[in-house]
Structure 1
Amino acid sequence: MTEAKKPDLLTRLKVYVDEDTAERGYVYFHQKVDVEVDLLNQILKGYTEIFIKPLRFDIDVIRLYCRQFIVNEIKINNHSAKFDINGSDDAGIFGEIIVHIPDEITDFPLINNDGEWVPIVVRVEYTLEKPKAGVHFKLPDNDKEIFKPQWDPYMFTINSPTPGAARCWVPCLDRIRDRCTWDFFITVSDVEGFDKIMVACSGNLVKLSESSTDSHKRTFHYNLPVATPAQYIGFACGPFIEPYVLDYPGSEEGPPPNRPKILAYISAEWEKWLLSTLYPNADEPTADTYWLHNAMEYFIEGYSQFNLHPEFDKNNPPVRPGTFPFQRFQIVFVDHTYSDVNYVIDQRVTTRRSLITAIAQQWFGIFIPPYSWRDYWLAVGLSNFFANMYFERLFGEDDTKFLRKKDIELVCQLDVGKPPLCSMDFTIPFESKDLEFISLKSYLVLWMLDKRLPFLDYRRGIPGIIYLILNKSKEDVEQNIRPGFLYTEQFLEQCKDVIRQELRSEITKFQKQWIYGSGCPKFKIRAHFNRKKLAVEFRFDQENTNRIEKDSSRPTNTPLFTGHMDIAIKEPDGGKLVAHAPSYLNDDDPREYPLQWGMDPDSESSDLAEWQISEWVEEEKASIARDSWEWIRVDDSFSWVADIDFEQLDYMWAALLDSQRDIIAHYEAVRALSKNPSKACSTTLMRTVRDWRYYYRIRMEAAIAMAKCANEELDFIGSEQLMKIYENDYCDYRDEAKFLPKPNDFNDWEEYYVQKTIPFALSCVRGAMGNAPDNIKKFLLDLLSWNDNSKNEYSDDHFVANLIESLGNAFIIPFDGQSPNNPNVETFDLYCESLAYSQEVLETLDRYLTRHKLFNSYRALLVVATIKTKNCLMLSQIIPADGRELLLQSQYGNYVGVRVAALSALIDLEFHHKPEIAQYFTFLAEYDSDLMVRRFLISKFGEDRGPQCWDLPKRNAPLRLLRVHYRRSIPGNFNHTNEITRVKPDVSVLTGIVNENKGTSAIQEAGSDVEVHENGEDMPLALRGHQSKLKKKSSPPSNQNIISDAHLSEVKNVVELKNADSDDEIEVEIDIPETRTRRSSKLKKATIKETKHKKRGSITETSAAYQTGVDSEGRKKAKVNKVKKSDGHSEKHKKIKL
């Protein structure tokens, strides 16, 4: 190939060719997968054809990625190809199979007469039996026991955001930037007792073909015309009904232009619960409840409506309508754990977030993949940022800001000793903990960049950059060109192109600090009022989270983070909190809220003493007037991913909480008050919990903060006020001293979350000795005992599970780090203090277990919570540690959440140190059918190394040579015609003899060729093996006979002698290489009967009798006597002498 031709060739190819692909020498452009799925036996068998286009003439090998397979054969353009299995440590990156191109097609033409590329077709025939990864089988369980649900048979592939999962079920090119179009031919058979097995697969259904020979078998043909990476390809098999088409509002003839068809696959038994998942706001779908379609509409067009003033947006290109990159968006439901899903409040948000994130990933990561591992952060960051744009619209600005603040705190905790986002220092492929960190920090970094771009005179921000990327990809598709990749350097250049030249240095600073640099800033800020200058002065101390580690002084660590930070200073002029509108599940049933927060502090009402109201002292109030500010807020615009430590007086934080309406200000004030507990702080937090004008998540945080104000120095005011809130708002008084919880009413779901949080906050209260006060344990036990859900239209499974876990948490004594052997530590036995409640607690737990057995609970939450609570009681030595029940609950057949909880309890109680339990854990981690169980144990005891965890592929055993020499004496006038037949003997029959000196074996495995010779010429003999229910046995020691006693007693061998109708004696000699000769007259006997039908000349039933031994020449001999029988059949008895 000359240099002059290269640009023309790449232009004709119409794909982006990177440097690594050009060096590799071929492009991956199409793949066909044809497999048959055996659900009950957990087998996938078939072949795949990989179409590649060469870029040069000197290609000699093709690398494929696959794990766990048995590779039967590989062909290239219909020529058998040799291949090697790459067992090196880098096989997961460079491919597990190296296929050598046969000599017959080495000189293939690169371009045909029409100037088109001549593709190379690599065909791999393979078998996958009981896979450990990549594919998950869920089979029906006929033994329905206490906690065992009855499920339908399913099989589905496991997707991963990074390469590694697809290679576990189909050989492919599984690099991070390899993508192609796909064709799938998936054959399934029905399972007796269930509906027809259907297939949902990536792409569009082209054809459904019923088998002409088996009415219970069918083949599904799916086609995916959009080039897609292998890691995002998948399919599922199960008893699905016809897919449920989710129509767009106002469109009866099909989806609108540029909109995908939305399909939902579910079994007939659970079809009626589908609407509650996809239309949770109403019993029947209406135009206002199409939230999934609204999300699709937003991602296609809504996000690009920037709503900017034309004067600010005049220099930007006009906005064009967007499009969805695929023709279909399919949802498959396979987990059936609860029937009344429309009554479960807690699952509502989780389901929406999962589906919306999946929609956003269709663009970034699937349609436009990252260029390399170091660019993966950009793909996951853009998809998460894209999804959060709609989350803010769906759940509100307050909820999005609150969760983002939580993510910032988590990133600052995790970013210790971590490499930069755009770096090759991460372990490749990514471990699960690295994936979580990259996914979390990447979208926060893009959010920071979005905050800074408006200051650089680009008001569209990151949504404008997203629009430019998607618009360019759309133009490529319209020109029949594959879109490019997400490339970090190209993305940053695009950010620089949209701003003025003199401001581009700010982007350069940002990328060095946040993208190519590691860590997060830790600010310690102090304020001081300079009366001479009449100005507030601030002192900033900055550290990097990575500086905590001694060996973290790497060049990638950012020494200083720079940028713009807003600081707000409030003068003492008063402020008013703007009410937050509450949300209701049923708008026609609003609740009335008491106004205890507005009580007059000077009132003589008995309520003051009853609620233990404690106000800020007069000196503190007067100091507010004397101070130059009422409160100060650092990072008022909320634009930094940083750990900010700012100190001011408690009453200033209380004033901030009372006067500001920003949710981040509320959160920072609540956290600051919890760090300095006092009676006045507890009163301020108590008012926050009861005030519905605060966002419900702030009220929850305030309830948890009140637990820190419950100690002996403050007379446990925090816990007393929490119990008072619960008694007043959620209980009815029976008499002066006792209360009875009201029947549950979860119509106001914000109030529901606050009600759930108070018992958990109480369980965190601890006395001086580290144990929870008895009145709290009794309070929680009463709540659980008197729970009434009879008048509530919503499920209380999450609520009751929270009460059970809170009760268990109250019995845990926190570890203070002191060793029991320390002479300064005195140990107290608290067993008697908790024993009074233990029996009542166990009876209550048994009552709720009985409720689960009778009525079931969502995801077996009651069982999971009971396991956790009993685990707490065992750890506190209130009840004896007993692992027998936990072992039963951890077995296959229980709901996966129950199993994981039981395994976690066994680990906490240190039962895994016992050898038999450790062996059980090892078995589960490798062979268990529940994917979540395997992943849980691997995360606890092993290293998640992605595809490198699973077995390398195996080749189907090649046919080894077994020479059989025999002689026979026959009459001179006997004429016969002989043929040779090659077959595969059974592994149980041919076990091999190990050579003592060289360590080799004559016959090492199943699959030996049989060559038959008579006096040096080929003779007719076919040796077949029929394997019985034998376990595979190891190779016998040296000089052991080729046929063992166990094999002869259980395995039938058929020796078919064609054209041997004579009654004469036949002698067979078998040559076996041995280290020494052996003289023995010892006979080993078994019976094989061989019956031959004369008319058809074929053997119909066989058995034989062998006598084995070794002669002086070290050869095996066989004598066969034929005896005619009166029933028209002939019987032969073989005797083999060694």
Structure 2
Amino acid sequence: MPPTDLEPARMNRKKGDKGFESPRPYKLTHQVVCINNINFQRKSVVGFVELTIFPTVANLNRIKLNSKQCRIYRVRINDLEAAFIYNDPTLEVCHNESKQRNLNYFSNAYAAAVSAVDPDAGNGELCIKVPSELWKHVDELKVLKIHINFSLDQPKGGLHFVVPNVEGSMAERGAHVFSCGYQNSTRFWFPCVDSYSELCTWKLEFTVDAAMVAVSNGDLVETVYTHDMRKKTFHYMLTIPTAASNISLAIGPFEILVDPYMHEVTHFCLPQLLPLLKHTTSYLHEVFEFYEEILTCRYPYSCFKTVFIDEAYVEVAAYASMSIFSTNLLHSAMIIDETPLTRRCLAQSLAQQFFGCFISRMSWSDEWVLKGISGYIYGLWMKKTFGVNEYRHWIKEELDKIVAYELKTGGVLLHPIFGGGKEKDNPASHLHFSIKHPHTLSWEYYTMFQCKAHLVMRLIENRISMEFMLQVFNKLLSLASTASSQKFQSHMWSQMLVSTYGFLKSISNVSGKDIQPLIKQWVDQSGVVKFYGSFAFNRKRNVLELEIKQDYTSPGTQKYVGPLKVTVQELDGSFNHTLQIEENSLKHDIPCHSKSRRNKKKKIPLMNGEEVDMDLSAMDADSPLLWIRIDPDMSVLRKVEFEQADFMWQYQLRYERDVVAQQESILALEKFPTPASRLALTDILEQEQCFYRVRMSACFCLAKIANSMVSTWTGPPAMKSLFTRMFCCKTCPNIVKTNNFMSFQSYFLQKTMPVAMALLRDVHNLCPKEVLTFILDLIKYNDNRKNKFSDNYYRAEMIDALANSVTPAVSVNNEVRTLDNLNPDVRLILEEITRFLNMEKLLPSYRHTITVSCLRAIRVLQKNGHVPSDPALFKSYAEYGHFVDIRIAALEAVVDYTKVDRSYEELQWLLNMIQNDPVPYVRHKILNMLTKNPPFTKNMESPLCNEALVDQLWKLMNSGTSHDWRLRCGAVDLYFTLFGLSRPSCLPLPELGLVLNLKEKKAVLNPTIIPEVIAGSQEVTMNPSSHAQLVGFQNPFSSSQDEEEIDMDTVHDSQAFISHHLNMLERPSTPGLSKYRPASSRPTIIPQHPSGCDGTPSTKPQWNMEFSRKGTGREQSPLEMSMHPAAATPLSVFTKESTSSKHSDHHHHHHHEHKKKKKKHKHKHKHKHKHDSKEKDKEPFTFSSPASGRSIHSPSLSD
């Protein structure tokens, strides 16, 4: 079977395979983008592009480009009018006549649709015919200039307009527009080759109102005013070859700041935010210096621009020589909590400038290398900036995230290799989406993919050393840098593309080490390792007998064979042992260095060389072991569950100096609620040298232990006396000192302790009165007048503490809750919340943190039955116009209300927002929240689950989200959470249907389709679920027949129906079975749709344009052309009339005898179908424009 989508020849780099082989029959060398009119009022854009291409094959007669949403007016090649056809199968994935509702079916069809326009397979939505006058020119491989005029009207994706609804001109209103999108989404705002592997130089021109500023990639060459001085044109040149996917644009009335430390860096922000911009970006030059130093390589571009915009798609988006940030990252010097987060965003975007923008990728399979390297160098920056503790805490956090995700969903594969289409070759059969394309991936999966990529880079560093790692990066950058300066040798530019093979080759050349086993373990297969450990001490032999088991049968796990480090802290010091984990070995004997000698007083040496006195009274008299750690350096992607005694965890918490070990021991001590654990945790809280995040975790652990020990607890509530001692007045312990946040460590502790204290419960499972009064006093006496920092995050945490103190209401005789009969404690809480909310309206806090906490607290009061459950307040706060954090908090409450109260009305309200809200990020978040906190799941009975909801969600993911890949994948995730992979249970039993399996030439009963194939109908409609067989697409999902059981009675009843229709299996009009395959054509996947539907562009005919031209006779009749489709590609030929009535006259029924000897079928699929398609209908071709489905007849293909 021919390879279908991302050509295996270049996708799966064979060991001998060196260079980059382009899937396109031409090389793009330069592109001009000119946008000469931007109308903010109408949200429209008009412009043209000009692509300079060099044919690489002599018989190039079709040029495929990417373009979505754009209305194409005219195409010229070398000033000659060119015919073009536009078709976008992703607009409507499954045809609207299809009664299919199962997700397997949708995901197959969606992956096929994305493949059909995938630039990495040489495809595209726009297909242009080279005029016959230029054929001789093309044969000489001379340059072609393609000029395309286009416009965009109210784009739904790719370009986002923000037009505030206030008085004044557009500039005064702060109206702006910027490009955005997930992965390669540049096709949404201008025609291009939207692939990360097609590099070229750029000239970008934008004409805007005089009060506006256009920011784009490369150097600003000049700004030219029009004669009337009302408009100006910004001319940018990007001389470094760059992929279209890394081109961006931001236009608005920006204020401009040239970086005082680096004059080639310019910052842009919306009006009146300049003071915040100055503070926020004042640190950026240090990030530049750090990266240039470790990579021993200069920043690759001649300039760098940061633009801060509103309603951002993501917080950070990196493009060639510029990054677009959310304006919500800006902050003043008074804000503590946002500062590290914003700095991290700036550093992340700069790391991606080197790896991601300057160095691009060869194919989607190589994405992990770029994400891994940029994440790895960003980690090095974190280690230097925030210290080793913060870095190790971050690595532990990332590791926990990826482990939890893989165990939940079944694995993340970094380097997918696609085999020959058999189910067992599918690398991700456990997922409900295809991983062949970034555009079919769940957003959460992609986030975890990036997380895993940088953790694997860290594993490679552990194997070859950091020094070699940085040498490899330097080598990649040096090669790319040399290639980028080759202005007239565009074949050299492939050195700027990284591939998995090339990266591994560099590692082997630089370090001389073979890391193939590591790659095989973590990159070529998915899953993490799950260890269970326990031990016994053998006193006679003075040996530690360690038992380590693995679970490698659960989903998302894999078997680990290799070295594993174990650290044992003994009385005589800390000792590292490397165990070899073999296939079957469980027990490992580790000799101990110390004899048990508790009576001798001597300091005990720790891992870091420090010697400390310990109280050894708690430990086992016979054993010299203090604590044991498995894989302390996190050099395996693993989850470890280790059993050791409570006193060992307590020693580990007190004396181990590694923050990860301390976090692990805090987690373990939750299971040991004893006075000794309480003491260990209290000691940690008091230790000022201890890392602040460990102390914060200890607060929550202490609250849990106190609740478990509630009957035996003595003294004041946990942490109260400690907080009083640290933060309250000596003379009046219930009054907190004036705020002074100069010590960030104690600031974080001061705002965390009350939140943890509020979780304390007495024997009646209520929050102790003493604690609530204490928290209310903290709020009452809070004084920030002398503090140089804002206390908004601190006050927000106090509200969170009030919310944590709320316990379920005790109702008497189902009495209705009113404000009059409220519990007095709850009344106090509600009054505080109301006061805070009202104060916020007068004096808003930074990022409205207090409103956010108040909304969450009100929802807690509702859920606990203290105030009537009502979503009206949240719905008003969720409306467009409020700050985004407030909206998300309010929407979270509505999602929760929908689940708890099973409210169909609120679910509809949420779904309406998903379809119509102006902010893409908010729509994405609602889908995300509904998926994480669903109103029901596939195994539940729920009144919300009905046929109308299924249809609504199906429509949403099928056609309602075609303008935003991320949104569509979010809709798929939600559909999967609610209904699973197979047909939703709430749908009525379907009528019988038939699947035509072309591969095995037999019909299979499918209970999920209402029959669409009826003898004598106008058109033979292929069952879309046979795409996989029809077009050679490797099915990444189990078929729907496997998913759903068929009632046998129904099967017997349908025997006659099946035999009646078997003769329809092979007909001349069955598409995709041509035996002609020209040498020059590449296989393409285009899903087949029936004609004559709702007029959207996806219903237009799917043409395959790569016809061969043999000999010198270039002119071809329509018949010849219809006889040469690319192999395994469906080709539908329609008349210019929208109906297909003429078509029905041309059906010739070939009745093949269908013998029921199954043996004959078994080997049939190995051979290509040699079905003769000479009798294709001799009809002229139609050209369709993307313009909202209206058909424009440009010159005919047959000339």
Shorter-chain-normalised TM-score: which range? 0.5 to 0.7
Alignment of 1:402 onto 2:393: yes
> What's the CA shift string for 1:611-636, capped at 9, x where partnerless?
xxxxx9x9x71644532222223224
Distance 1:860 1:718, change over 3 A: farther
Q: Contact 2:214–2:249 (CA<8 Å) still a contact in 1?
A: yes
Task: Work out which of the residue numbers 723, 727, 736 in structure 2 matches 1:726.
Answer: 723
**Alpha-carbon distance between aligned partners in 2 of 1:384 and 1:908, rounded to the nearest angstrom:** 34
Deviation at 1:107, TM superposition (A): 0.6
- Cα displacement (A) at 1:396: 0.9
User: Aligned residue for 2:144?
Assistant: 120
Partner residue, 1:52: 53
Alpha-carbon distance between aligned partners in 1 of 2:331 and 2:301, rounded to the nearest angstrom: 33
Q: Supply the distance in 2 between the matched residues of 1:386 and 1:875 (Cα, whole angstroms).
A: 45
Q: Are residue 81 (structure 1) and residue 83 (structure 2) matched?
A: yes
Paired residue type of 1:691: Q
For residue 802 of structure 1, the aligned residue among 784, 794, 797 is 797
1:27–1:945 distance in 2 versus 1, CA, 3 Å: farther
Partner of 1:351: 342
1:899 aligned to 859, 869, 887, which one?
887
State the distance in 1 between where 2:750 and 2:964 align.
Answer: 53
Q: 1:667 to 1:940 in 2, by over 3 A?
A: closer
Aligned match of 2:1056: none
Does residue 139 (structure 1) correspond to residue 163 (structure 2)? The answer is yes
Q: Map 1:402-441 to 2 at 5 A.
A: 402-416=393-407, 417-423=410-416, 425=428, 426=435, 428=437, 429=439, 430-441=441-452
Cα distance in 2 for residues equivalent to 1:388 and 1:175: 28
Where 1:880 maps in the other structure, the secondary structure is coil
- 1:155 corresponds to: 177
Residue 876 of structure 1, CA deviation: 1.3
* Alpha-carbon spacing, 1:813–1:372, altered in 2? closer, same or farther (3 Å): farther
Q: CA deviation at 1:499?
A: 4.3
Task: Give secondary structure in 1 for the equivalent of 2:255.
Answer: coil
Would the alpha carbon gap of residues 859 and 108 (structure 1) be closer, same or farther in structure 2, given more than 3 Å must change? Answer: farther
Question: Corresponding residue for 1:472?
Answer: 479
**Match in the other structure for 1:26:** 26
Moved more, 764-773 or 167-176: 764-773
Match of 2:268 among 255, 265, 270: 265
Deviation (angstroms), 1:439: 0.7
Tell me the percent identity: 24
Please state how far the C-alpha of 1:394 moved relative to its aligned partner.
1.0
Report if the CA contact (8 A) 1:891-1:899 is conserved. Answer: yes
Q: 1:499 to 1:218 in 2, by over 3 A?
A: closer
How many residue pairs get aligned? The number is: 827
Q: What does residue 303 of structure 2 align with? A: 328
Do 2:728 and 2:736's aligned partners in 1 also have CA atoms closer than 8 Å? yes
Gaps of 5+ in 1: 1-16, 145-149, 191-195, 249-253, 255-260, 280-290, 305-320, 582-597, 601-615, 815-819, 821-825, 954-996, 1000-1033, 1036-1138
Residue of structure 1 in register with 2:1102 after alignment: none
**How does 1:438-453 map onto structure 2 within 5 Å?**
438-453=449-464
The partner residue of 1:535 within 533, 540, 543 is 543
**Match of residue 508 from structure 2:** 496
Give the aligned residue type for 2:305.
Q
| Equivalent residue for 2:195, pick from 142, 164, 175 | 175
* SS of 1:170 mapped into structure 2: coil
Counterpart pick for 1:781 among 772, 776, 779: 776
1:931 aligns with 2:928: no
Q: CA contact under 8 A between 1:52 and 1:119: conserved in structure 2?
A: yes
Displacement of 1:914 in angstroms is 5.1
Q: Is 1:203 matched up with 2:218?
A: yes
* 1:621-1020 superposed matches below 5 A: 621=617, 623-711=619-707, 713-714=709-710, 715=712, 720-732=717-729, 739-766=734-761, 772-811=767-806, 835-910=823-898, 917-941=906-930, 949-951=961-963
DSSP-derived class of the 1:492 partner:
helix
d(CA) in 2 for partners of 1:365, 1:463:
17
Q: Secondary structure at the match of 1:415?
A: helix
Q: Secondary structure at the match of 1:330?
A: strand
- How does 1:497-516 map onto structure 2 within 5 Å? 497-500=509-512, 504=514, 507-516=515-524
Q: Which amino acid aligns with 2:209?
A: S
2:382: which partner in 1?
A: 391
Amino acid at match of 2:881: G
The 1:690–1:344 alpha-carbon spacing in structure 2 relative to 1, beyond 3 Å, is same
Say whether the 8 Å CA contact 1:176–1:229 is kept in structure 2. yes
SS of 1:359's partner is helix
8 A contact 1:710–1:719 mirrored in 2: no
Aligned-pair CA distance for 1:350: 0.7
Q: Could you tell me which residue of structure 1 aligns to residue 294 of structure 2?
A: 303
Per-residue deviation at 1:847?
1.8
In structure 2, the partner of 1:103 is 131
Instruction: From the superposition, tell whether residues 734 and 579 of structure 1 become closer, same or farther in structure 2 (CA, over 3 Å).
Output: farther
Equivalent position SS for 1:322: coil
SS in 1 for 2:718: helix
Cα distance, 1:370 vs. partner? 1.9
Alpha-carbon distance change, 828 to 474 in structure 1, aligned in 2, over 3 angstroms: farther
Q: Rg bigger for which structure?
A: 1
What is the Cα deviation at residue 951 of structure 1?
Answer: 4.6
Is 1:363 aligned to residue 354 of structure 2?
A: yes
SS in 1 for 2:551: strand
1:1011 matched residue in structure 2: none
Distance 1:339 1:371, change over 3 A: closer
For structure 1, which segment, 233-242 or 899-908, has the greater mean C-alpha deviation from structure 2 after superposition?
A: 233-242
1:241 positional shift? 3.2
Q: How far is the alpha carbon of 1:25 from its aligned partner? A: 0.6
Matched, 1:240 2:254: yes
Q: Distance in 1 between matches of 2:227 and 2:631?
A: 71
- Structure 1 distance, partners of 2:728, 2:822, is 26
* SS of equivalent to 2:135: coil
Range that drifts further, 197-206 or 17-26:
17-26
Match of 1:462 in 2: 469
1:122 counterpart letter in structure 2: I
- Checking the alignment, whether the CA contact within 8 Å between 2:915 and 2:960 is kept in structure 1 is no
CA distance in 1, matches of 2:173, 2:964: 32
Indicate conservation of the 8 Å contact 2:329/2:342, yes or no: no
- Tell me, yes or no, if the aligned pair for 1:402 and 1:663 is still in contact at 8 Å: yes
Query: Residue 909 of structure 1 aligns to a residue in which SS?
Result: helix
Confirm whether residue 185 of structure 1 aligns to residue 176 of structure 2: no
Give the counterpart letter for 1:548 in structure 2.
S
For residues 960 and 146 of structure 2, the distance between their equivalents in structure 1, rounded to whole angstroms, comes to 24
- CA contact under 8 A between 2:179 and 2:250: conserved in structure 1? yes
Pick which of 356-365 and 801-810 moved more.
801-810
C-alpha separation between the residues in 2 aligned to 1:567 and 1:226?
Answer: 50
CA RMSD of aligned residues (A): 3.8
Q: Structure 2 vs 1, CA of residues 204 and 533 (structure 1 numbering), >3 Å: closer, same or farther?
A: same
Unaligned runs of 5+ in 2: 1-16, 91-109, 118-123, 311-326, 418-427, 429-434, 573-601, 931-952, 966-1016, 1020-1093, 1096-1199
Are the aligned partners of 2:761 and 2:767 in contact in 1 as well (CA < 8 Å)? yes
Distance 1:270 1:559 in 2: 54
CA distance in 2, matches of 1:698, 1:833: 42
CA–CA separation in structure 2 for the residues paired with 1:239 and 1:827: 59
Q: Deviations over 1:356-388 (max 9, x none)?
A: 111110111111112211211111011000111
| Deviation, structure 1 residue 56 | 0.5
Q: Is the 8 A contact 1:513 1:561 kept in 2?
A: no
Cα deviations by residue, 1:634-685 (Å, 9 ceiling, x for unpaired): 2244433211122222222222233332222322222222332222211211
- Counterparts of 2:759 and 2:685, CA distance in 1: 17
In 2 relative to 1, CA 621–38 (structure 1 residues): closer, same or farther, beyond 3 Å?
same
Distance 1:39 1:864 in 2: 32
Q: Is the 8 A contact 2:33 2:205 kept in 1?
A: yes
User: Contact 1:575–1:660 (CA<8 Å) still a contact in 2?
Assistant: no
* Separation in 2, partners of 1:947, 1:396: 48
Cα distance in 1 for partners of 2:448, 2:458 equals 16
Instruction: Give me the whole-angstrom Cα distance separating, in 2, the residues matched to 1:845 and 1:570.
Output: 53
